[in-house]
Amino acid sequence: MNFSEQAPSSEWADLKREGEEIAEAWFKPEGEPFTLVFRVPRDRFEVDDLSQQLTLEDLLKAADVSNEEVESWDHLDESHPGLDGTNPELQRLLPSPPADATHLTVAVHLKPPAHTAAGDDAVEQDVPPERWQALEVLWKAILGIEAGIDSLRHSMESLRNEMEAEFRRSLAADEKVHALQADVAQWNKAKSRVHYALPRVREFIHRATWAQTVPERKRLEELFRTHIEPRVPFPGMDQEREKLEHLQKDRQVLAAQGATVYQECRGITSEIQRAVSTLQRNAADRARNKRSAGREKGKYY
């Protein structure tokens, strides 16, 4: 299918994979000729078989749209650049819709056809300083966000090691004997949260490590060094600015997600440490009381 020739939708169209309806699609919402909207029902996210859950790549394939045609896409509070089809997020399972929603809505923004992209074959020779400054500010903002993400990644790696150590921690022999059952239960409950938090920590570390190695990011860095910084005009400046803006937004979302995961995991670690501290203190008190009772009893023999 040539998307540019696709007529705008007047109603939701069924989207099928191997004969099974998996979602609905709306082509070219009013005023957005290069947008495709998917609507995935909640029951698609409630199946136990992971192979039945969907990625954006699955939806695109069902709509006969290639990954390379994707400029960017949005769902929930996330926004991702297409990166010429190389973004691994295309193959990531879609997140569940909010608790009060019946569907997950994904808006996909496609690249305009080459013949409609004004100025692609021409290089503007007289570029106002404000345009150069805007591009420089965008790139430096991206670098600043990436520096924060990298710092957060290092902190997250240390926190992951700390959480794993707390999860593996066992009680000393005396603590096992004298610990209150309620304290042990509270400690185990706090530790059980590590099992659910660690995958999110590992995912953020993986995404933060990958972030600076994607081809599109490297291309934009090269563009900055060879054109933007020395202010050498190049074709498609407006399109490149949009790509920088998408990259900036993607980094902002990643940084916000990482900060949320870090704060949650720091809270889990503190909760475990408080629980084990309470357990140890109460166990020591019980042991001391038992010894005192034994000595008092011995005086009467």
Dihedral angle sign, alpha carbons of residues 78, 76, 72, 55: positive
Residue pointed to by tokens 């659910």: 196
Beta bridge partners of 59: none
pLDDT digits (tens, 9 = 90+) for 210-267: 888 888 888 899 999 999 999 999 888 899 999 999 999 999 999 999 999 999 999 9
| C-beta of residue 80 within 8 angstroms of C-beta of residue 87 | yes
Residue 117 lies in a domain: no
pLDDT at 297: 65
What DSSP string describes 35-78? Answer: EEEEEEEGGGGS-S-GGGS-BHHHHHHHTT--GGGEEEEEETTE
Structural domain tally of the chain?
A: 2
pLDDT for position 191: 94
Both 220 and 290 in one domain: the answer is yes
| Domain-located, residue 80 | yes
Residue from 180, 29, 167, 24 nearest 102 by CA? 24
* Same domain flag for 108 and 136: no
Q: Taking Cα atoms as reference points, which of 199, 192, 157 lies closest to residue 272?
A: 192
Give yes or no: residues 153 and 40 share one domain. no
> What does pTM read for this prediction?
0.59
Query: Within this chain, do residues 291 and 167 fall inside the same structural domain, yes or no?
Result: yes
Averages of pLDDT over each 10 residues, the chain, 301 residues: 73 88 89 88 82 88 90 87 88 88 92 58 70 94 95 95 93 92 95 92 92 86 92 90 93 95 95 95 93 70 52
Asked if residue 96 belongs to a domain, the reply is yes
Residues 87 and 195 placed together within one structural domain of the fold: no
Q: Calculate the alpha carbon distances from 210 to 149, 205, 291 in Å.
A: 11, 9, 58
Tokens at 197, concatenated = 């938090």
Choose one of 54, 82, 112: the last residue of a domain: 112
Q: Which residue has the tokens 């013949």?
A: 115
Clarify whether residues 85 and 143 are in a common domain.
Answer: no
Are 153 and 108 members of one domain?
no
Dump strand ranges (E) for 140-243: none
pLDDT at 120: 46
Give dist(CA 63, CA 27) in Å, integer. 10
Same structural domain for residues 137 and 271? yes
Do the domain assignments include residue 60? yes
Secondary structure (DSSP) of 205-232: HHHHHHHTTSHHHHHHHHHIIIIITTT-
Task: Answer yes or no: are the C-beta atoms of 76 and 40 closer than 8 Å.
Answer: no
Between CA 87 and CA 91, with CA 88 as vertex, the angle to 5 degrees is: 120
Does 213 map to a domain? Answer: yes
The answer to whether residue 224 is domain-embedded is: yes
Distance CA(277)–CA(236), nearest Å, equals 61
Clarify whether residues 179 and 32 are in a common domain.
no
Domain boundary among 81, 112, 143: 112
Does some domain include residue 119? no
* pLDDT for the residue 75: 87
**58 and 154, same domain (yes or no):** no
Q: Tokens 């997950």 sit at which residue?
A: 104
Contact in structure between 42 and 76 (CB atoms under 8 Å): no
**What DSSP element (H or E) covers 243?**
helix 237-298
Query: Residue 123: what pLDDT?
Result: 54
Q: Is 72 found in the same domain as 43?
A: yes
70 forms beta bridges with: 110
Question: Residue 295's pLDDT is what?
Answer: 73
Domain identity same for 49 and 137: no
Q: What is the CA radius of gyration of the chain?
A: 28
pLDDT for the residue 117: 46
Residue 124 lies in a domain: no
Instruction: Give residue 96's domain range.
Output: 3-112
